[in-house]
Amino acid sequence: MAHHFEIYKDKAGEFRVRFKYNSEVMFSTEGYASKASAKNAIESMKKNGPEAPIVDTTTEG
Q: What is the CATH number of the domain that holds 36?
A: 3.30.160.160
Residue 44 lies in a domain: yes
| CA atoms of 39 and 2, how far apart (whole Å) | 20
Residue 13 CB burial class (10 angstroms; 0-12, 13-18, ≥19): exposed
Q: 40 is in which domain, residue-wise?
A: 3-50
Residue 14 lies in a domain: yes
Residue 56 lies in a domain: no
- List, run by run, the mean pLDDT of 10-residue segments along the chain (61 residues): 92 97 94 98 91 89 67
Q: What is the DSSP string of 3-61?
A: EEEEEEE-TTS-EEEEEEETTEEEEE---BSSHHHHHHHHHHHHHHGGGPPP-------
Residue 60 lies in a domain: no
- Which pLDDT score is estimated for 61? 67
Residue 58 lies in a domain: no
- Which pLDDT score is estimated for 23? 87
Overall number of domains in the chain: 1
Residue 12 lies in a domain: yes
Question: What type of residue is 12?
Answer: A
